[in-house]
Structures are given as structure tokens and as C-alpha cells.
Amino acid sequence: MVCLGNICRSSMAEGVMRHLLEQAGISHLHSVDSCGFEPCHLGQSPHSMAIATAQRHGVDIAHQRQRLFVKEDFRRFDRIYVMDSGNYYDVNRKAVQADDMKKVDYLYNMVAKGQNIPIPDPWGGTMDDFEHSYNMILQSCQALTEDLKKTDR
């Protein structure tokens, strides 16, 4: 899960995805992580409003720490989900092999196939903005979980 600062959207997406995989009983089959591109938050926990939003939904993300996207992530992960076009561009700049970008997609494309609809960055916004982004993330992660359950058979 990739966004700009790894303190709002991708942090919530990591937490939601882990939670859903645990509920589905398949967390042992999948590795979930999040990262970003903005180094000013390196090592920090998620934004307090992201933590509060996730917590309201029974998801604990307070233990997470921001890290940067690295080229090795293309080898470590089978799928890489970005939140918006800026994140897609940033990931593309790190691609080493021609096939690297075949692993990358917009997270919300799990709901709206091929439409590349961004999940809005709630940073600097209100709790309603965090809730809106959380709901888009939840819908996407629910669809992704269903997809993974099919491939795990």
C-alpha cells in the first residue's frame, strides 16, 4: 500500500487489509505493508486522525511506522497498490525491470475496475475527510480480500 507520506491513506489501508485477512482466516498466506515517498515523516506513527478513524472501526494502526518505498519492494511483493496518480508516477520512477509496473495498480480499481479513481488524501482535512478516505479504502480492501480468497483455493 503506497501513498505520499505513509501516515494517512496507506497506513489505514495496511491496517484494514491486515484486519480483513485475519477475519477471513488467510493472514498467514499474505504479507501486507505500507510505505510512502515523503521522507519528512520517516519512522513516525500514522497521523492521529488516521489512528482515530481506524480505531473507530476496530482497526489498530498506532504501532505502524512510516517507511519509504524502495526498489526492493518490487521483489518483495506480488501486488503494489497506490492511492493516486502521483503515487503511481513515484512508483514508476523506481521501477527497474519492464515487468515491475505490471504489479502496480490503483487501490480503488479493486472497486471501479480500470477507472484509476484516486483515494483522496485527507491530510490537512477534517475527520469527515479521513472517514471518506477510510470508506474507499475499506471497499477496496474488501474486494481485494475476496479476490485473494479465490486465488488461495
Question: Which are the catalytic amino acids?
Answer: 3, 9, 121
Give the integer Cα–Cα distance in Å for 68 and 3.
10
Joined grid coordinates for residue 77: 511483493
Amino acid sitting at position 76:
R
| Main-chain phi, psi angles of 94, to 5 degrees | -90, -10
What φ, ψ does residue 82 adopt, rounded to 5°? Answer: -110, 160
